[in-house]
Amino acid sequence: MSKLIDVCLLGTGGMMPLPNRWLTALLLRFNGKMILIDCGEGTQIPLKLAGWGFKSIDAIFFTHYHADHVAGLPGLLLTMGNSGREEPLCIYGPPGLIDIIKGVTVIAPQLPFEIRLFELSKDNVATSGFGEIEIHSIPAEHAVPCLSYSIEVKRAGKFDVQRAKDKGIPVQFWSRLQKGETIEVDGTTYTPDMVLGEARKGLKISYCTDTRPIGSLVDFAQESDLLICEGMYGEEDKIEKAIEKKHMTFSEAAMLAKNGNVKELWLTHYSPSMDNPEDYLCNARSVFSNTVIGRDLMSKTLVFE
């Protein structure tokens, strides 16, 4: 199996960075391109420790605009600029993005690259094409407009050599058709479906933080290979606080994973008052056995089955 997509959980904290816990952020790497989701205070440090570089981050996605998810952006932009970046940077987020970026870039007014902003509607599921990756968003339930994201790598059907031969398709076009390209030559059109079988199972990563476990998120995370989900509170007796603050407990995140039929759950976005998340892992595993306590800089490579 070939390597497909790398995932690095840069930090796992909520509200404020701690000496042993950076704020929640996620870094994804695919075919040399990188996507960052959220950028709280201090995110540059785990980015540096991860060793993947930051100059080549192609896009940043924000779940929402509380400070623990956006305050690290101006410093990161300045560092990217100082590293010699000139390519445009795309930034996505829920409504309010334009005002937020205008505000935080007051202290980073002159950058050597263009910033392109894309506000995603809070009323509709939005899809953004990003090369071979599809990034979908859906409204979450938090105190401010907030989005959850899913990252999908599609996988085309298997190339059928015999079908290509039977249709008389020139060999020099086979690889292009296999990559999904439509070819027109001498009045004849060749399309990928002429030589490819049914689409095979790809990869799906879902990222849900700062939200209650609403029903739409179950469908949204359905069949994810990896669900990275907030677990603000490990204790079961914190359920009322979770409801009030619009967060989740470990067991609620685990139920979301179970109902969504995901393969693996990583917990993240812990309350600063929770010193040892491992103490409450049993509350999640009693609901969904393949639950992992997320750790800063924890990484994994996902591959096609």
Catalytic residues: 68
Q: Are 271 and 15 in contact (CB under 8 A)?
A: yes
Taking each helix axis from N to C end, the angle separating 73-82 and 97-104, rounded to the nearest 10 degrees, works out to 60
In the chain, the DSSP E strands lie at 3-11, 25-30, 33-37, 57-61, 89-93, 115-119, 126-130, 133-139, 147-155, 183-185, 188-190, 200-208, 226-230, 265-268, 291-293, 298-303
Instruction: State how beta strands 200-208 and 188-190 pair.
Output: unpaired
Give the whole-angstrom CA distance, residue 169 versus residue 159: 13
Q: Are 143 and 217 in contact (CB under 8 A)?
A: no
Among positive and negative, which fits the CA dihedral 282, 146, 30, 75? Answer: negative
What token pair was written down for 194? Answer: 């002429």
**In terms of Cα–Cα distance, which of 259, 270, 264, 256 is closest to 289?**
264
What token pair was written down for 94? Answer: 């829920």
